[in-house]
Chains A and B, each alone.
Chain A
Amino acid sequence: MAKTTTGGVEAVYDPRGRVDAAAAAIAPRARQLKGLRLAVLDNTKWNANKLLRQSLKRLDEEIGFAAVNYYRKESFSKVAAPELVGEIAANNDLLLTAIGD
Chain B
Amino acid sequence: MHDAISLEKLGLPAAVVVTEEFLHEAEVQRAALGMDGLQPVVITHPLSSISAAEIAERAEQVVAQAQAIWLGRA
Taking CB atoms, residues of chain A closer than 8 Å to B2 are: 79-80
Q: How many residues of chain A get a CB closer than 8 Å to chain B's CBs?
A: 45
Interface residues of B, count at CB 8 A = 52
Are A24 and B5 closer than 8 Å at their CB atoms? yes
Question: Footprint of A on B, CB under 8 Å?
Answer: 1-19, 21-22, 25-26, 31-38, 40, 43, 45-50, 52, 55-56, 58-60, 62-63, 66-67, 70-72
B55 touches A89 (CB 8 A): no
Set A55, A73, A93: member contacting B62, Cβ < 8 A: A55
Partner of A89, one of B12, B13, B17, B62: B12
Asked whether any CB of chain B lies closer than 8 Å to the CB of A2, the reply is: no
A26-B38 contact in complex given A19-B32, A80-B6, C-beta closer than 8 Å:
yes
Asked if A21 lies at the interface with its beta carbon under 8 angstroms from chain B, I say: yes
Interface flag for A25 (CB, 8 Å): yes
The answer to whether B11 touches A27 (Cβ under 8 A) is yes
